[in-house]
Amino acid sequence: MVYVLVALEMKRMIAYYLDPMACQPCDDLKEIVNMFVVMSIFKAHVEGQLKSQMGNCLTVSSASDVSKKRKSLAIETSFKLPAPMPTWPPGEGFAGGTIDLGGGLEVCQISSFTKVWATHEGGPDNLGATFFEPSPMPEEFCMLGCYSQPNKKPLFGWVLAGKDNTNNPLGGALKKPIDYTLVWSSESLKIKQDGNGYVWLPTPPDGYKAVGHVITNLPEKPSLDKIRCVRSDLTDLCEADTWIWGLDKVANANGFNVYDLQPSDRGAQALAVSVGTFVAQNGGAASSLSLACLKNISSNLYAMPNLAQVDALVQAYSPWVYLHPDEQYLPSSVSWFFQNGALLYQQGEESKPVNIDPTGSNLPQGGSNDGAYWLDLPVDAKAKETVKKGDLQDSMTYMHIKPMLGATFTDIAIWIFYPFNGPARAKVELINISLGKIGEHVGDWEHVTLRVSNFNGKLMNVFFSEHSSGTWVNASELEFQNGNKVVSYASLHGHAFYPKPGLVLQGSGAMGIRNDTAKSKMVMDTGTRYIVVAAEYLGSAVVEPPWLNYYRKWGPKISYDLAAEIKEVEKLLPGKLKSAFEKLVKSLPNEILGEEGPTGPKMKKNWDGDEV
């Protein structure tokens, strides 16, 4: 073997044999090295002297070596729950892999994908989005639509695939499209992208509807065998939901936008089924009307979990709730609240409050929130202060189990009761102030909702209630502890739930109501002491406690001089901030102001409906 030292300069090449017994270098070697060096230098526009290389081969830097590497994106990592899912107890159809929606349509949920096209700008955080095909496709199942999500999050999603069980070529549950319409392409755009992307809308045969788009990276129309359309009676109306991507950093109504699709009708009784696909809207065109979602026309609930499976789900995913280290007003069980002196008042009989049975059996049942009855703390001052503080050791969680999205998902609403909601605190520029009595009220119901796939039992999303609203959070963005148990943080005094610790300011700019959360030694494992208080689909298997059907207020209407409270706080503020603060407080809902006592879980809109 002969070794060669090759010295490279900008304008010449010198090759020396390192073997002293060898002859001069041959012309072929000189030509090969010269051509390689000249081409590489020209391509990379290398400046300065290249360092000499020694060894069995020659390495020359290319343009890609010296250019700045693109920062890796979150979507390049697929999210998985921290711990393996358990083996679910036996049952009828829960976690069975497929669900029969009736009418000859069987569906499965696919969460493995093949990337088709991606853009690296625009959309949330200006990081772009990626578009996928579901892959691999199970035998006899067909694609119903493609999947997309922003690049800012780890890959974690799903789409449904369909199987036609009718054996009817004329009126089957699924049919091929008869053509495609190009909705949009990136061909002429000067954006950061991986090749070009093309979004196609299938043209369904008469009596059928498309439920998803096809995405390609070539200008030719996709094969008609690529996707299936669904018979119209097996579909329902849908609407655009969360923004996935657009050319701008925020959704532009006049531009091109991609959104998640969700059924228009959602709730425990609704039959509409989400397909998991996206809708493309070009220049404000309502192309969402050209896509539909699916429908569980059989109203079949066989894929819902039984009580043993519900318990397994609770043990697998039930949240840890961290209370703020300065929290004074802790949760308790409802029976503890009643047994420690809570009183039932009746309009016109205010001087004769009644003690409440531990189960609430003497509370008025049903009816409406007509103001005729309300609950309040004990009259005795010492007992009142004791009840206000709650009892974390005696606290319980109350579970409501309900079907969602046509019984393809199970929602586990986990309700927590606090005897008292503490005073609010505000941040006004750099000043933090207590708001006196503002925010105080008796009886406080808060909840976290787990959304679990009935196809496999996987936790997909969690809803965190925040005062009169709340936020859905994808499982890939959650904090977990002890396996797959979700971590939640309850805000100081107000008890709103958040997925991350820190400050959430409810207001605008540098002024608003403080929602402070942090970890502490006060923590509640919601799966340790719980009771399923309602699961309507299970019929008589779950007996609802009497207090659940008490529809009146869990606290009295608090009467205080709001103007006087504001004036007290304003004394602490510089002149220019007084009017802005007064405007902020008056814009807050009664729930935060604390003027109205809250109603119980069954009176909330989300009891039968979807979360906001």
Cis peptide preceding 136, ω within 30 of 0: yes
Residue type, 496: A
Token pair for residue 150?
Answer: 């922003």
Task: State the pLDDT at residue 59.
Answer: 32
Q: From the CB of residue 47, how many other CB atoms can be counted at a distance below 10 Å?
A: 8
Of the two residues 593 and 352, the one the predictor is more confident about is: 352
Is residue 15's pLDDT more than 70? no
Q: What is the pLDDT of residues 155-203, one digit of tens each?
A: 999 999 999 999 998 899 999 999 999 999 999 999 999 999 999 999 9
Is residue 95's pLDDT more than 50? yes
Is residue 355's pLDDT more than 50? yes
When computed from its CA atoms, the radius of gyration of the chain, rounded to whole angstroms, is 31
Is residue 593's pLDDT more than 70? no
Task: State the pLDDT at residue 595.
Answer: 66
Q: What is the pLDDT of residues 531-583, one digit of tens each?
A: 999 999 999 999 999 999 999 999 998 766 666 777 777 777 777 777 777 77
Task: State the pLDDT at residue 590.
Answer: 63
E strands along 425-537, which residues?
425-428, 431-434, 441-453, 459-466, 469-474, 480-481, 485-490, 497-498, 502-508, 511-517, 523-525, 530-534
Please report which confidence band the pLDDT of residue 605 belongs to, taking 50, 70 and 90 as the band edges: very high
- Which range is least confidently modeled, 240-249, 286-295, 484-493, 557-566? 557-566
pTM: 0.86
Closest CA to 292 of 221, 212, 362, 233: 212
State the average pLDDT for the chain.
Answer: 86
Strand-pair partners of 211: none
Residue 567: which residues within 8 A CB-CB, separation 6 or more? none
Q: What is the pLDDT of residues 261-318, one digit of tens each?
A: 999 999 999 999 999 999 999 876 544 468 999 999 988 899 999 999 999 999 999 9
E strands along 80-197, which residues?
98-102, 105-110, 113-119, 129-134, 142-143, 147-150, 159-164, 174-175, 179-185
Q: What is the pLDDT of residues 448-467, one digit of tens each?
A: 999 999 999 999 999 999 98
Between the CA of residue 432 and those of 427, 500, 511, what are the distances in Å?
Answer: 5, 21, 10
Exposure string of 17-46, with b = 16+ CB inside 10 Å and e = fewer, is eeeeeeeebeeeeeeebeeebeebbeebeb
Task: State the pLDDT at residue 401.
Answer: 98
Closest CA to 46 of 10, 94, 83: 10
What's the start-to-end Cα distance of the chain, in Å?
A: 75
Task: State the pLDDT at residue 158.
Answer: 98
Please report which confidence band the pLDDT of residue 434 belongs to, taking 50, 70 and 90 as the band edges: confident
Please report which confidence band the pLDDT of residue 31 belongs to, taking 50, 70 and 90 as the band edges: very low
Q: What is the 3-state secondary structure (H, E, C) of 230-286?
A: EEHHHEECEEEEEEEEECCCCCCCCCEEEEEEEECCCECCCCEECCCCEEEEECCCC
Average pLDDT (19-40) is: 40
Residue type, 77: T
Task: State the pLDDT at residue 583.
Answer: 73
Average pLDDT (411-433) is: 89
Between the CA of residue 427 and those of 238, 469, 583, what are the distances in Å?
Answer: 40, 21, 14
- Which sign, positive or negative, has the C-alpha torsion 68, 74, 79, 83? positive
Of the two residues 394 and 430, the one the predictor is more confident about is: 394
Please report which confidence band the pLDDT of residue 58 belongs to, taking 50, 70 and 90 as the band edges: very low
Q: How far apart are CA 185 and CA 183, in angstroms?
A: 7
Task: State the pLDDT at residue 594.
Answer: 57
Residue type, 207: G
Task: State the pLDDT at residue 581.
Answer: 74
Is residue 67's pLDDT more than 70? no
Residue type, 57: C
Of the two residues 566 and 57, the one the predictor is more confident about is: 566
Task: State the pLDDT at residue 589.
Answer: 64
565, containing H or E segment: helix 562-570
- Count how many residues are written for the chain: 612
